[in-house]
Amino acid sequence: MAVVTATETGVRPSRAGRRPSIPGWVGTVPFLAYVGVFLLLPAGIVIVDALKNSSGGWQFSAITELGNPLVRGYFIGSLKLCVITSVSGAVFGAILAYAVASGNPDGVVRRMYLAGSGVLAQSGGITLAFAFQALLGPVGLLFHASWFYDFPWGISLIYAYFQIPLMVLVFMPAIDGLKVQWREASENLGASAWQYWRHVGGPLLAPAFLGSTLLLFANGLSAFATIEAWESQVAYTVPQQISISLSSEVGLSNINYADVLALGMMIMVVVIMTGYALLQRRASRWLR
């Protein structure tokens, strides 16, 4: 390890003696403390609520709710939507990011794309759904897309509007990290553009690409204002059903059910992240 190497060469800063006595994870304490209070505590409250029945006793039968076919349908709907929008958003976003990154690093175009992507990445909700309805809906300004109200196609198009800019923003630093020398070296050795991307650029970018795709997936998962405004008559995704369970005024409100669904979402993400971790290990194998 690098630490040992430095010792062996005899070049030691005067503070060296203090270092090994503090265990590494202590440095992560400030972060863990903050996240503990403002994230884990609320998440914990939700989980505990999911496992309690209305009189306050523990009730693990709530978990079996997750096996209910109706509930499975919500999760499959969410999964379909998130996979489609994250993969397509990642691919198109990567292309756009490359186009922006390959320009003048101090230029106006890059800055405008940066600012624009920032704004659009966080857009969404009623106005976005409405704008698309105005363009492609039944009285569309452009044309009437008969698939506009089909799940998941219409809503995927709308989601792409903020997934792609998000990808641009989180992936561009990785593209910036591709040193121009590597490209020139590969060309000098006779590689074509395709070979460069296949053997050098692609593998180098793969970990960041996977990570960004994961972010896009999670981003699409909990969004619900947009899909509610797109159509609100059928709950296709988990957040829509959670919203109904929390705010239904016809007596179908069930906070416990909403908490169980939220718990299901967290479990789903744990599963996805495990698969992602395995993929990452493989993708960055040769980098270690």
Partner 1 sequence: MAKLIAAAKKEGTLNVIALPPTWANYGNIIKAFTTKYGIKVNSANPDGTSQQEVNAIKQENGTAAAPDVVDVGQAVALVNTTLFAPYEVSTWTSIPATQKQSSGLWYEDYGGYMAVGYSSKFGTITSLNQLLGPKFKNAVALNGNPTSANAALNGVMMANLAEGGTAGSIAKGVAFFHKLKTAGNFSPVSATGASIKAGTTPVVFNWDYLNLPTYVGVSNWKVFVPSNAVLGGYYAQAINKNAPHPAAARLWEEFLYSQGAGGGQNLWLQGGARPVEEAAMTSGKTIDAAAAAKLPPVSGTPVFLTQAQNTAAANYLAANWAKAIG
Partner 2 sequence: MAAIASLGESGLATPAERPRGMQVRRRRRLNVFRYLVFTVFGLFFLLPLLATARFSLEGNRLGSWSLAAWKEIATYKGPPPLLPAIEIQLELAVATCVVVLVLLVPTMVWIRLRVQWISRVFEFLCLLPLTIPAIILVVGLAPIYNFIRHYQLSALTLFFAYVILALPYAYRALSAGLNAIDVTTISEAARSLGASWFTVIARVIVPNMGQAILNAMVLASALVLGEFTVAYLLLYNNLPVELFSISRNTPNASVIFSTSLASLLFAFALLLILSYAGRRRHRGRG
For partner 1, which residue of 82, 120, 155, 235 counts as binding (CB under 8 A)?
A: 235
- Residue 76 in the binding site for partner 1 (CB under 8 A): no
147's contact among partner 2, partner 1, none, with CB below 5 to 8 A by partner kind, is none
Q: Applying CB under 8 A, which part among 156-164, 191-199, 205-213, 251-259 lies near partner 1?
A: 251-259
- Residue 253 in the binding site for partner 1 (CB under 8 A): yes
Amino acid at 73: G
248's contact among partner 1, partner 2, none, with CB below 5 to 8 A by partner kind, is partner 1
* Upper half-sphere CA count for residue 36 (Cβ side, 13 Å): 6
The whole-angstrom separation of Cα 227 and Cα 216 is 16
Which residue number, 218 or 246, has a Cβ lying nearer to partner 1? Answer: 246
Strand partners, 58: 52
User: Site mask, partner 1, residues 85-114, x = CB under 8 A?
Assistant: ------------------------------
- How near is the Cβ of 141 to partner 2 at its closest, in Å? 6
For partner 1, which residue of 247, 270, 285, 287 counts as binding (CB under 8 A)?
A: 247
The whole-angstrom separation of Cα 242 and Cα 218 is 16
What backbone torsions phi and psi does residue 25 show, to the nearest 5 degrees? -70, -15
For partner 1, which residue of 61, 192, 232, 274 counts as binding (CB under 8 A)?
A: 232
Axis crossing angle, helix 153-176 with helix 69-101, rounded to the nearest 10: 40
DSSP for 110-131, written as a single string: HHHHHHHHHHHHT--SHHHHHH
278's contact among partner 1, partner 2, none, with CB below 5 to 8 A by partner kind, is none
Contact set for partner 1, span 113-172 (CB under 8 A): 126, 130, 133-134, 137-139, 149
Token pair in block for residue 112: 């405008």
* Upper half-sphere CA count for residue 122 (Cβ side, 13 Å): 5
Q: Applying CB under 8 A, which part among 92-100, 171-179, 231-239, 271-279 lies near partner 1?
A: 231-239
- Residue 252 in the binding site for partner 1 (CB under 8 A): yes
Which residue number, 152 or 174, has a Cβ lying nearer to partner 2? Answer: 174
Size of the site for partner 1 (CB under 8 A): 26
> What's the length of the chain?
288
143's contact among partner 2, partner 1, none, with CB below 5 to 8 A by partner kind, is none
- How near is the Cβ of 249 to partner 1 at its closest, in Å? 4
107's contact among partner 2, partner 1, none, with CB below 5 to 8 A by partner kind, is none
CA geometry: angle at 251 spanning 249 and 257, to 5°?
A: 100
The whole-angstrom separation of Cα 56 and Cα 22 is 43
Residues 195 and 186 sit within 8 Å (Cβ to Cβ): yes
Residue 104: CB atoms within 10 A of its CB come to: 9
Residues 156 and 81 sit within 8 Å (Cβ to Cβ): yes
Amino acid at 39: L
Which residue number, 26 or 139, has a Cβ lying nearer to partner 1? Answer: 139
Which residues are at the interface with partner 1 (CB under 8 A)? 126, 130, 133-134, 137-139, 149, 229-235, 243-244, 246-253, 255
